[in-house]
Amino acid sequence: MVTGLQSPAPLVPPHVPRDHPLVTRDYSLYTPPIQRMVDQLAFWIDNQVEGATIYGPSRYGKSSAVDHWVQTLLSERFQNTLPMVVWSHTDAGGANSVGRFYASLLHASKHPLAKATRSPLSRQHMLLERWYSLARRGGGRFLILIIDEAQGMTQREWLWLVELHSLLEKENLRLCVFSIASLQFFDEPMALAMVGGAHVAARFMLSSERFHGIAGLDELACVMAGYDEGTEWPAQSGLSFTAGVATQAWAAGFRLESHVQALHAALVAGIPPNYPGPLEFPMKTIAHCCRHILLRIAGGADWRDVTSPESLSQIVTESGHRQLLALVTATAHLVRRSANSNKS
């Protein structure tokens, strides 16, 4: 029997409900990069582009934006519920087939018979009918398809999508395809486009825009204020995440947003040496840090200790911040080498 060793207390204290969003991490905060993404999509919709690409590093918040915010914010902007299908692409490996491709899109389109056994041609007809119905429901002859994790699309899948696009076009229904792709900072989105060939790129990917991380004190403050004011749990309780979890600290005047400068300094200090990328931070890192701060305070730690420079530095380190930034800029030296070669 081992004695004399004291295990550290668990991060989630016993009194915090296990279904609290901070525990399950099942929540999404509105951020300035999400708003910029929605503004860009709205611009493309207004200009009736056939397709475009939003690209950026992994863990920066693209999928959260697609899953929780895009349809709502776009519908508010256009004062109408836009007909939209969101497809989170998964790599089927060697099992990829046109039938599976149609089945996946049927599932994303919430077709009641998406899992039914059908021939590929029958599935194609079911999908087209479903998309006609969604477009009519939206009051026009227009449908948006958002493909999340589009960097995993194969050449065959792009070509199958071109065929669907052409069939819809013959029926005077306009399909607008927005690809959401995880690319490193110095990767070019055109390389993604060319996976399907020039005609795929010309149809779906002539326009592109980078999804940004959280940049500067103002944007970081906006995110941190979301925990103080822009969240609520339980529903209809009037309690934000900060108020509901760090109850005593909240009553004493603690606000997460008040510590934005200290957290920003810790994030900057955690940047890898010779970091070549832009000074903006992944939502994964920021969400980890804010969650950790609030749960430690909920467990009885003094908020002054938890938000000290030493504590925040440790929290940022434990989030994997430095490693993630190193990964998303891993191609920088290759880009610089290529640029120098072209000059010579």
Residue 340 has pLDDT above 50, yes or no: no
Q: Assess whether the previous peptide bond of 10 is cis (omega < 30° from 0).
A: no
Per-residue pLDDT of 249-298, as tens digits, reads 999 999 999 999 999 999 999 999 988 888 999 999 999 999 999 999 99
Is the predicted pLDDT of residue 13 greater than 70, yes or no? yes
**CA 20, chain centre distance (Å):** 21
**Contact criterion met (CB below 8 Å) for 335 and 186:** yes
- Of the pLDDT bands very low, low, confident and very high (cuts 50, 70, 90), residue 192 is low
Residue 277 token pair:
């990328």
Q: How far apart are CA 48 and CA 111, in angstroms?
A: 26
pLDDT band for 6, please (50, 70, 90 cuts): low
| 3-state helix/strand/coil string of the chain | CCCCCCCCCCCCCCCCCCCCHHHHCCCCCCCHHHHHHHHHHHHHHHCCCCEEEEEECCCCCHHHHHHHCHHHHHHHHHCCCCCEEEEECCCCHHHCCHHHHHHHHHHHCCCCCCCCCCCHHHHHHHHHHHHHHHHHHCCCCEEEEEEECHHHCCHHHHHHHHHHHHHHHHCCCEEEEEEEEECCCCCCHHHHHHHHCHHHHHHHCCEEEECCCECHHHHHHHHHHHHHCCCCCCCCCCCCHHHHHCHHHHHCCCCHHHHHHHHHHHHHHCCCCCCCCCCCECHHHHHHHHHHHHHHHHCCCCHHHHCCHHHHHHHHHHCCHHHHHHHHCCCHHHHHHHHHHHHC
pLDDT of residue 187: 59
pLDDT-derived band at 343 (thresholds 50, 70, 90) equals very low
Q: How many CA atoms lie within 13 A of 181 on its CB side?
A: 26
Question: What is the per-residue burial (b if ≥16 Cβ within 10 Å, else e) of 35-60?
Answer: ebbbebbeebbeeebbbbbbbbbbbb
* % of the chain with per-residue pLDDT over 70: 89
Per DSSP bridges, beta strands 84-88 and 142-148 are parallel
Lowest mean pLDDT among 187-196, 211-220, 335-344: 335-344
User: pTM of this prediction?
Assistant: 0.87
What is the average pLDDT across 99-119? 93
Q: Give pLDDT, residue 336.
A: 46
Q: What tokens were used for 107?
A: 């599932």
Residue 11 has pLDDT above 80, yes or no: yes
How does pLDDT run across 134-190, given as a tens digit for each residue?
998 877 789 999 999 998 888 899 999 999 999 999 999 999 999 999 876 555 555
pLDDT score at 93:
66
Residue 338 pLDDT: 45
Question: Span 189-195, mean pLDDT?
Answer: 59
CA 273 to chain CA centroid, Å, is 27
Q: Which of 81, 62, 84, 304 is nearest to 183 (CA)?
A: 62
Mean pLDDT of 314-327: 94
Dump pLDDT digits (tens) for 18-45: 999 999 999 999 999 999 999 999 999 9
For residue 287 the two structure tokens come to 């969400």
- Which residues have CB under 8 Å from 149's CB, separation 6+? 63, 88, 89, 90, 180, 181, 182
Percent of the chain residues past pLDDT 90, beyond the cut: 72
Longest dimension (CA), the chain: 76
Structural domain boundaries of the chain?
A: 32-89+99-210, 214-328
- Distance between CA atoms of 123 and 117, rounded to whole angstroms? 9
In CATH terms, the fold of domain 32-89+99-210 is: Rossmann fold (3.40.50)
Q: Report the pLDDT value the prediction gives residue 203, as an integer from 0 to 100.
A: 84
CB 153 within 8 A of CB 196: yes
